[in-house]
Amino acid sequence: MKVQRSQILTQNQKDFSWRYWFTLPIYPFGQRQTIRTEVIKDTIWTFDQLQGIFYVVVPVRMTVVKLSQGGLLVYAPVAPTPECIRLVEELVREHGDVKYIILPTISGLEHKVFVGPFARHFPQAVVYVAPNQWSFPVNLPLSWLGLPRQRTKILPSDSKQSPFSTDFDYQVLGPIYLGPGQFEEVAFFHKSSRTLLVTDTIVSIPPDPPAIIQLNPFPLLFHAKDKAADIIIDNLANRRKGWQRICLFAMYFRASTLEIPSWGEVIQETWKAWKAKQYSYKSYFGLYPFKWKSDWQRSFEALRGNGRIFVAPILQTLILNRAPRETLVWAESVAQWDFYRIIPAHFDAPITATPQDFRQAFAFLQRQPLLNGSSGHTYPLPEEDFQVLREIDAGLNRLSIVPPAEDISVN
């Protein structure tokens, strides 16, 4: 039995292997599992993997859509592990070749790094990238970044000029100038299914951890601890607790309900973990420099807002407020499409939402609600939870690293 188990583990490790993990060395590094979900029968599929730092793990998602003339379009590729490629090839055998691969962002390394290696598995596919691509510290040609030279093209500014215009419309947000770099995202609208595909601009938070994160619950249980020496039982309540705290980390870095103890307290708690034998390299040898207030769930419930869609606080505070007018024009354009389903590249998906709900999500740029035709609930994010992000913003401005935010609320 031990030999069989060893063989199974070895096979799984090969199946989940991502050999270029060092290009973006974040968890889970070289071992990435994939979950494929059929969103619309024989039409749309999502491929979820996970990524994170310090066990703050969130889904990263690729969407595959069947084209009306046969073949597949891939939006925002994930790591092309043997498992992932096998799951795509199953669709290819039934629905036709991968014809188009879309890189819908210019700044998201967690999306950009996979495109070249993914495209090499489908040599007949044409790669379309968002315009204004850049790299840091040196702006390199796309072929130097691993994208196939002969098969990589820039998305036309007019979506009607794209070879997949029968099936899709798209709108480009940006580029938004951020000093050292730029932000840009391309939203795709699949006409026949009335589905909107976005990358980072819109998210929705589920109350329970997504399936991809539950495959290995260690990060969930790690963040379910209150103290370093805690022994956490693996059950749904603790998985949910860990997930909700992970969401607060991912969205705010540090919400108002999270305290950072002194190094003296951290060392003391780490020593207690060692005495209780609750340490390992996986748990950072007992290091747990977090202290949650008793009402931390209040911050999570405000963040989740009953599942409504919203713009992540990091984008609200550090990115989109640099170009509020351009962002609102883009949001208005996207809201002209008649969608009722949104598939973002992170957190929950698919999400039931209307164009009015989408437009409402960007009302923070005007500091006033736009409730006409939306679900009727704004669920504003608590200002106190933005404190650390505001401090980061002020520091970047003070050092003239990024341009200042533009306030159009008075206009």
Considering the domain architecture, whether residues 199 and 215 belong to the same structural domain is answered as no
Considering the domain architecture, whether residues 194 and 321 belong to the same structural domain is answered as yes
Mean pLDDT computed over every residue of the chain: 88
Whether 347 is covered by a domain: the verdict is yes
Considering the domain architecture, whether residues 219 and 198 belong to the same structural domain is answered as no
Whether 388 is covered by a domain: the verdict is no
Considering the domain architecture, whether residues 280 and 169 belong to the same structural domain is answered as no
Domain that holds residue 289: 211-306
- Please tell me the predicted confidence (pLDDT) of residue 1: 34
Considering the domain architecture, whether residues 81 and 136 belong to the same structural domain is answered as yes
Verify cis geometry, omega within 30 degrees of 0, for the bond prior to 369: no
* pTM of the predicted structure, to 2 decimals: 0.91
Considering the domain architecture, whether residues 190 and 234 belong to the same structural domain is answered as no
Give the Cα separation of 233 and 224 in Å (integer): 10
Give me the CATH number covering residue 85.
3.60.15.10
Q: Model confidence over 91-121: pLDDT tens digits?
A: 999 999 999 999 999 886 778 889 999 999 9
Using an 8 Å Cβ cutoff, are 65 and 170 in contact? no
Whether 99 is covered by a domain: the verdict is yes
Share of the chain above pLDDT 90, in %: 68
Most confident of 42-56, 100-114, 271-285: 42-56
Considering the domain architecture, whether residues 239 and 321 belong to the same structural domain is answered as no
Q: How many CB atoms lie under 10 A from the CB of residue 65?
A: 28
Confidence class for position 409, pLDDT limits 50, 70, 90:
low
Considering the domain architecture, whether residues 193 and 99 belong to the same structural domain is answered as yes
Whether 96 is covered by a domain: the verdict is yes
Residue found under tokens 């034998």: 277
Whether 369 is covered by a domain: the verdict is no
Domain count of the chain? Answer: 2
Higher pLDDT, 189 or 269: 189
Considering the domain architecture, whether residues 159 and 276 belong to the same structural domain is answered as no
Whether 248 is covered by a domain: the verdict is yes
Whether 379 is covered by a domain: the verdict is no
- Whether residue 262 is predicted with pLDDT greater than 80 in this model: the reply is no
